Amino acid sequence: MRCEVVAIGTELLLGQIVDTNSSWIGEQLALAGIDSLYQTKVGDNFDRMVSTIRHALERSDAVICCGGLGPTQDDITREVIAHIMGVPLERDETIVQKIRDYFEGRGRPMAENNKRQADIPVGASIIAQMPGTAPGLVAPVGNKVIYATPGVPREMHEMMLGTILPDLQRRSGLASVIRSRVIRTWGNSESGLAEVLADRITELDAIGNPTLAFQASGIEGIKVRITAKTGDEATAQKILNEEEARIRALLGDIIFGLDEESMETVVLKRLRARGMTLAAAEAITGGVLAERMSTLDPAMAVFRGAMISARFDDTAAYGKSGADRAGKSARFAREEFGTDIGIAVNLAQDGEGERLNTAFLHISTKDHEYGMATTLPGDRYRLRTFGVIELLNYLRKTLDAQ
């Protein structure tokens, strides 16, 4: 069973709205064991919509159309589907009343054009879930099927989970399960990881299952995605566990987390497990570290706070070298907040004999001082954000080594 996604709306092509629906639908199809090889966007134009959906039906067994079910003149998905089916539209008065009740329940009159949303292609059925004013559709086309959902994510989610995914699984007659696990790394390039894993990728290409893929994600690191397709959940998890163990053995400590774990999530988890607290001195990072950490620790039980000040760059007060300034400011943060650990990152200044954008990372505890140097990207945004992740990664590896 192959299913294709067609996102409908000129606003998607103009970049006025980001198409998060297609990525979410693709993820749900994978979890349900439904192959999805194509995703397409098309504007609100009758002929182009007809052509796009027909082409999708030629290469797939099912098509999910998302958007174009509203009450305005450019919402023409119903008309397009009826044309492809070769049938007229028929108004469903029960749906008209349901839409009217929706508005009246909110103390508002129903506009006359909302009745258009109750026009259903003859032979199509209405999706039972209808959290808004737009009914979704299940429209058979020969031995294939078109599903139509509104573009509003919450409404689309209910229809996908309540009707479309179960119907696709029933039509496929298969109980296949596709599961993925993302291994998150920091400290090597995408090409570098590909070289390290080259032999394993060649082996998997011959086997066919599982598969490995790479995704470069900026300050979120390089992701290695393992995907397994099997007949049941237990076998899929077994395959993922075994492959994760192989990759860990090859990549070592550049792996910092799995799936949705960010660097700050991992660091907070390490500190919480050890009953330790953390504070930071921020100069070049300008509060980025405090924002990322406090978002995940709003009560500030582990991350107690940060001081943001240009004085940490003061050579007279904090040292003539970047390493000295990073060390002194990290100790200052630890003592000022009364935490177990203080951290800081500081840049080398002109005349210090260091390469451009050399950064000094420092970790201060009651008993030990840890420092290292690295090089950060040049522009201000990346310098700040990469500086934060490099510092947190250094803290993660230092904690793991203890």
Residue 289: name the closest of 395, 365, 183, 203 by CA. Answer: 395
Ramachandran sector of residue 86 (left: φ over 0; alpha: ψ -120 to 50; beta: rest): left
Residues contacting 226, CB < 8 A, separation 6+: 180, 181, 182, 183, 210, 211, 212, 240, 243, 244, 247
Q: Is 247 helix (H, G, I), strand (E, B) or coil?
A: helix
What pLDDT digit, counting tens, does each position of 159-217 carry? 999 999 999 988 988 666 778 899 999 999 899 999 999 999 999 999 989 999 888 88
Cα distances (Å, whole numbers) of residue 333 to 209, 344, 356: 50, 8, 26
d(CA 120, CA 78): 7
Start-to-end C-alpha separation, the chain = 51
Beta strands in 54-195 (DSSP E): 62-66, 89-91, 119-121, 125-126, 137-141, 144-149, 177-185
Q: Are strands 62-66 and 144-149 parallel, antiparallel or unpaired?
A: parallel
Q: Is 54 helix (H, G, I), strand (E, B) or coil?
A: helix
pLDDT of residue 316: 80
371 phi/psi in degrees, rounded to 5: -145, 150
pLDDT < 50: residue spans in the chain: none
**What is the dihedral angle through the alpha carbons of 225, 227, 146, 62, rounded to the nearest 10 degrees?**
140
What pLDDT digit, counting tens, does each position of 97-129 carry? 999 999 999 899 999 999 999 999 999 999 999
Tokens of 157: 């989610």
Residue with tokens 């706070």: 305
Give the predicted TM-score (pTM) of the model: 0.72
Q: Could you tell me how many residues make up the chain?
A: 402
DSSP letter assigned to residue 350: T
Q: Considering the chain, tell me which residue range(s) the CATH 3.90.950.20 domain(s) occupy.
A: 263-401
d(CA 346, CA 53): 55
Q: Which CATH number fits domain 177-258: 3.30.70.2860, 3.50.50.60, 1.10.730.10, 3.40.50.2300?
A: 3.30.70.2860
pLDDT of residue 340: 98
Bridge partners for 214 per DSSP: 224
Residue with tokens 């840890």: 370
Assess contact for 168 and 160: CB atoms under 8 A: no
Q: Is 152 helix (H, G, I), strand (E, B) or coil?
A: coil
Q: Considering the chain, tell me which residue range(s) the CATH 3.40.980.10 domain(s) occupy.
A: 3-172
Other CB atoms within a 10 A radius of the CB of residue 76 amount to 21
CATH number of 263-401: 3.90.950.20
CATH number of 3-172: 3.40.980.10
pLDDT of residue 31: 78
- What ranges in 71-164 are assigned the alpha helix state H? 77-85, 93-104, 153-159
pLDDT of residue 175: 62
Helix, strand and coil percent figures for the chain, each rounded to 5: 45, 25, 30
Residue 86: exposed, middle, or buried by beta-carbon count in 10 A (0-12, 13-18, 19+)? exposed
pLDDT of residue 335: 97
Helices (H) and strands (E) in the chain, counts: 15, 17
Beta strands in 168-309 (DSSP E): 177-185, 211-216, 222-230, 255-258, 278-282, 303-308
Assess contact for 391 and 361: CB atoms under 8 A: yes
